[in-house]
């Protein structure tokens, strides 16, 4: 296995210190607080995930992407009104431009909601995942991994609450009993396939926190507040963590939801990653936390993007993101929610 080495500019944070001695916990919280305000991106160590589970997820993801196209298309996302399933490279968009990655999206396993005239539109997001018949071992493996990264995400969220001067369970009322658990296994083809260097265009993530597993090929970049792009190459045994728009909303901008992208790998090289997005319950509304005075003075306000408005209503926000990033699914199943412009052509989109 070859690790592609690049300079590391993001901090490494050992979450086991959160559960250590009082001195370790205090030092950890201070480090985390600085990172949350500075850029919201860091490498996580001390997470306790079995290395064999991580290796199995990467290896089985590669098996899935190596399946013949017709077997992957059996579970193409356009067949799911719940935005679950497989997408070919170029079928998701960020700000209207094609993202050159193929991926499989799963979320919390569930049943579709019976819809009536008064049913909120975001309830269309509930439903079953699609799984490949040619690779039956993928379902139990990814669901086991989803449970582990959910555990990590909630642990991080508790630590973030403490770093913000709040009780550990400050966010529990908007994620219990069932947070959103969007998981993507992703393959980025080399530039002999990609029609641009955009693996994924520049965007912010929409949830609480993202837990990213990288294989061995770099490509992730993070944009600082002053516009500088930092590389975030793979480091074995770590996850890359970043904070999302829900935390920026909840803290009036004290916590950053940083812009980031992925550059397509060189010709002849492919890149694999597994991204998990921990979000709130869909029926929740994001409050504004009353931060301690020493943190409140560092609030920056919420970023306003006229092309991508952010709503405090979580279900509305997530449905908006799905409709924009997957216009083929939107037209096939949710035409009643689209504008004439969206029905006529590709929507301006946000990757999530």
- Domain with 51 in it: what CATH number? 2.60.120.330
pLDDT at 3 over 90: no
User: Is residue 352 situated within a structural domain?
Assistant: no
| SS3 (DSSP) at 280 | coil
Considering only 30-34, 71-75, 293-297, 318-322, which range has the smallest mean pLDDT?
318-322
Domain count, the chain: 1
**pLDDT above 90: percentage of residues in the chain:** 79
Considering only 167-181, 204-218, 306-320, which range has the smallest mean pLDDT?
306-320
For the stretch 282-313, pLDDT in tens is 999 999 999 999 999 999 998 866 666 777 88
Q: Given pLDDT bands bounded at 50, 70 and 90, which one contains residue 98?
A: confident
User: Is residue 3 situated within a structural domain?
Assistant: no
Mean pLDDT in residue range 318-331: 90
Mean pLDDT in residue range 143-149: 98
User: Is residue 207 situated within a structural domain?
Assistant: yes
**pLDDT above 70: percentage of residues in the chain:** 94
Which strands, in side-by-side order, build the sheet including 271-279?
Answer: 12-14, 41-45, 239-243, 209-214, 271-279, 180-188, 102-106, 85-87
User: Is residue 70 situated within a structural domain?
Assistant: yes
User: Is residue 2 situated within a structural domain?
Assistant: no
User: Is residue 130 situated within a structural domain?
Assistant: yes
> Exposure of 165 by Cβ count < 10 A (0-12 exposed, 13-18 middle, 19+ buried)?
middle
Pairing of strands 229-231, 239-243: unpaired
For the stretch 9-53, pLDDT in tens is 899 999 999 999 999 999 999 999 999 998 899 999 999 999 999
Beta bridge partners of 210: 242, 277
pLDDT at 1 over 90: no
Per-residue pLDDT, 2? 42
- In what helix (H) or strand (E) does residue 18 lie, and over which residues does it extend? none
What range defines the domain where residue 162 resides? 12-344
CA atoms of 144 and 295, how far apart (whole Å) = 37
Per-residue pLDDT, 4? 45
Angle, alpha carbons 54-55-57 (nearest 5°):
65
User: Is residue 285 situated within a structural domain?
Assistant: yes
User: Is residue 336 situated within a structural domain?
Assistant: yes
Per-residue pLDDT, 346? 53
């Amino acid at each position: 296995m070859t690790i592609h080495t690049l300079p590391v500019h993001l901090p490494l944070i050992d979450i086991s210190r959160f559960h250590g001695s009082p001195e370790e916990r205090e030092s950890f919280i201070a480090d985390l607080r600085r990172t949350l305000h500075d850029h919201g991106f860091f490498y996580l160590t001390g997470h306790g995930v079995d290395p064999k589970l991580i290796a199995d997820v990467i290896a089985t993801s590669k098996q899935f992407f190596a399946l013949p196209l017709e077997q992957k298309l059996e579970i193409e996302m356009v067949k799911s009104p719940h935005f679950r399933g497989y997408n070919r490279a170029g079928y998701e968009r960020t700000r209207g431009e094609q993202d050159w990655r193929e991926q499989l999206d799963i979320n919390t396993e569930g049943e579709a909601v019976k819809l009536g005239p008064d049913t909120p539109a975001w309830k269309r997001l509930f439903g079953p995942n699609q799984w490949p018949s040619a690779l039956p071992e993928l379902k139990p493996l990814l669901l086991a991994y989803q449970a582990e990264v959910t555990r990590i995400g909630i642990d991080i969220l508790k630590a973030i609450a403490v770093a913000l001067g709040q009780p550990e369970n400050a966010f529990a009322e908007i994620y219990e009993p069932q947070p959103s658990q969007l998981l993507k296994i992703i393959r980025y083809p080399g530039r002999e396939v990609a029609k641009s260097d955009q693996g994924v265009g520049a965007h912010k993530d929409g949830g609480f926190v993202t837990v990213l597993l990288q294989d061995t090929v770099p490509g992730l970049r993070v944009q600082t507040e002053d516009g500088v792009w930092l590389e975030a190459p793979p480091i074995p045994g770590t996850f890359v963590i970043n904070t999302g728009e829900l935390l920026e909303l909840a803290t009036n901008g004290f916590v950053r939801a940083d812009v980031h992208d992925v550059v397509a790998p060189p010709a002849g090289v492919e890149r694999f990653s597994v991204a998990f997005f921990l979000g709130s319950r869909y029926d929740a509304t994001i409050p504004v936390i009353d931060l301690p005075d020493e943190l409140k003075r560092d609030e920056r306000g919420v970023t306003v993007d006229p092309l991508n408005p952010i709503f405090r209503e979580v279900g509305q926000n997530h449905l908006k993101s799905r409709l924009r990033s997957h216009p083929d699914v939107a037209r096939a199943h949710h035409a009643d929610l689209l504008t004439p412009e969206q029905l006529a052509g590709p929507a301006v989109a946000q990757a999530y």
